[in-house]
Amino acid sequence: MAAPLTAFAASESAPAENGILDLLPAPLRDLIDPENAPLRIAEQGIFSAGGTVIRSDGTFDVGNYYTSRDGSTAHVDHANVLYQIPENDTELPMVFLHGYGQSRMGWMTTPDGREGWSDMFLRKGHSVWLIDQPRRGEAGQTSVAGTMTTTTSDQTWYTQFRIGTYLNDQFTYNEGSQFPRGEEVLDQFFRQMTPDTGMDNDAGDQAIDNTVVAQAVAATIDEVYARTGKDSILVTHSQGGLPVWEVPLYTDHVAAIVAIEPGAAPEVGSDAYNAMAEQNIPVAFYYDDYIGQQYTDVPAAAMWSMMASTADTFTAAYTAAGCTSTVVRLPDEGITGNDHFMFQDLNNDVIADHIEIWIQQNVQ
């Protein structure tokens, strides 16, 4: 095992900021105030999982190797996985799958530079395994030809994600929004957007291949099991909440699924649903604020309300079958002002704590 790393901006010699705590020896201070202690990583790394190898027709010509691709191969359609294991590795691993137009970066930080969920769950004793899905980000090698466009869509996504809207050449925020403020924050947020390499255009008119993604995620989970001996909690967001339901078709090492505003819940009676039910995988759906017909000034509210209704349908059937499924609407829990990116909002720590409580109560 590699020597522990200290992955936190503060140092033991930093100026006193916390009064009496700063007068204590560092080990004692960390025990008293663990949330502000240095984050100690025992092991970290990066690897690819799943995918396939394609081959062109013909015979490789070593004398004409650069201009001819006959008889050549390409390794494609895999996931790329960055992982960190904390010193206090006491809990189940958590595998994170991003949504559309995103990469693993979204789990790792916030637009205003605060800790992301990956750090927060490391502090809670989980190893984290952060995926770039096939044909996205660092897993861009693809078996499907695609065209990268220059579509201008910042305002579209801002509105779709229920952060606010764009009026009179200005970005506005929904009332009570927990999204961090500032021009630099928005600049950092929009620069997180990551296009697909294997789609016809950036708007997603060619559907993402959910089976390709699911198989790569399953291969990741199998690798996590091989390395740790533990099943994984699969955390997903938005578009990632479509292929995620197929993952149990290809692995039996899913301990639970936490779906953050997924594109849809699995259809009752589908192969994906049946595989989940047979393995009795606990599921939690999390939905943010500004969803429902009452939010007439939020353009995407009705659409997200329809998507959330699929979780209610799934949960009714799944629990009737003796399995565990919970639909969490954050305003009902007294947590308000969140948009589609709850894990980057100002209260992302509060929501991470809520998820951890659900895990402790529902996941073996």
Evaluate whether 289 touches 338 at the Cβ level (below 8 Å): yes
CA distance 207 to 193: 18
Convert the pLDDT of each residue in 247-256 to its tens digit: 999 999 999 9
Closest CA to 339 of 195, 192, 165, 220: 165
Joined together, the tokens standing for residue 364 give: 């073996």
Convert the pLDDT of each residue in 298-329 to its tens digit: 888 988 999 999 999 999 999 999 999 999 99
Mean pLDDT of 36-52: 95
Mean pLDDT, the chain, integer? 90
Evaluate whether 49 touches 223 at the Cβ level (below 8 Å): yes
CA distance 16 to 20: 9
**232: Cβ–Cβ under 8 A, 6 or more apart, which residues?**
92, 93, 94, 95, 129, 221, 224, 225, 253, 254, 255
Mean pLDDT of 270-292: 97
Question: What domains does the chain contain, in order, with CATH numbers?
Answer: 1-38 (no CATH), 42-362 (3.40.50.1820)
**44: Cβ–Cβ under 8 A, 6 or more apart, which residues?**
2, 5, 82, 83, 84, 85
pLDDT confidence of residue 200: 54
Using CB atoms within 10 Å of the CB of residue 74, give its burial: 0 to 12 exposed, 13 to 18 middle, 19+ buried.
middle
**308: Cβ–Cβ under 8 A, 6 or more apart, which residues?**
261, 285, 287, 291, 327, 329
pLDDT at 267 over 60: yes
Convert the pLDDT of each residue in 144-171 to its tens digit: 988 777 889 999 999 999 999 999 999 9
Its sign, for the CA torsion 332, 265, 106, 176, is: negative
Convert the pLDDT of each residue in 93-130 to its tens digit: 999 999 999 999 999 999 999 999 999 999 999 999 99
CA distance 26 to 160: 45
Tell me which of 202 and 234 has the higher pLDDT: 234
pLDDT confidence of residue 13: 36
pLDDT confidence of residue 30: 65
Convert the pLDDT of each residue in 206-231 to its tens digit: 568 999 999 999 999 999 999 999 99
Helix axes 301-320 and 271-279, enclosed angle (nearest 10): 50
Q: Identify the H or E element spanning 325.
A: strand 325-329
What is the Cα Rg of the chain in Å?
Answer: 22
- In this structure, which amino acid lies at residue 66? Y
pLDDT confidence of residue 293: 74
CA distance 264 to 258: 13
pLDDT confidence of residue 294: 82
